[in-house]
Amino acid sequence: MFVGLCFLAPALVLPLLPPVQPARCGYPRCCDGANAADDGEIQMEADGVPCSSGRIVTELVDASGSPLPDRFMLAVRACRGEFAPEDASIDTERGDDLITTALLEFPAVVRLRVVSRVLDDATADSLVDDVTRLVEAASNGEGSVSAKVRGGRRSVDLAMRVDDAKALAALRAALSEDSRVQMCF
């Protein structure tokens, strides 16, 4: 009945509805603090605004009380801007490894895979040798390289220590620029 009347004449129906009473909020300086009234009276803040019924959530947990997964917490941190660079002018999708810098603690051991184009055996072997030399030079001999033949392609897995995200970006760029390389990830 009220719904139909609201559409027809809201000015007539609204005075008939009971007034909305805010609940006690639980905020320490307000309803549950020294100013709390035990008689059920609505408490007012210093500026004359009634206390709200909202809660302040400081710990994110699921319905069972377990902490949320790391993936979700990383997304929350990203929404809060924790991974944003201090210089806003470089905060674009084309910035060099901004996410890598935020997620990894450098120096770090990184693993990359280089997949060659379809090559003859001699050219593929020279690619593996070149990647091995590059890794040894960049990591002071602390890297490892292994290659597998997959069809007519070579899959080269490498692990090496890098000092920062810029060094990693330079390594990936050097590998990707080689005409024998199909992809580097």
Query: What DSSP state is assigned to residue 66?
Result: P
pTM equals 0.50
CATH class for the domain made up of 106-184? alpha beta
Supply φ then ψ for residue 146, to 5 degrees.
-140, 145
H or E segment to which residue 79 belongs: helix 70-79
Q: pLDDT tens digits, the chain, 185 residues: what are they? A: 444 444 545 555 445 555 554 444 544 445 444 444 445 555 666 666 666 656 666 677 888 888 888 888 888 888 888 877 777 766 666 666 777 877 788 888 999 999 999 999 999 999 999 999 988 888 877 889 999 998 889 999 999 998 888 888 888 888 999 999 999 98
The amino acid that residue 49 corresponds to is V
Buried b (16+ CB within 10 A) or exposed e, 49-61: ebbeeeeeeeeee
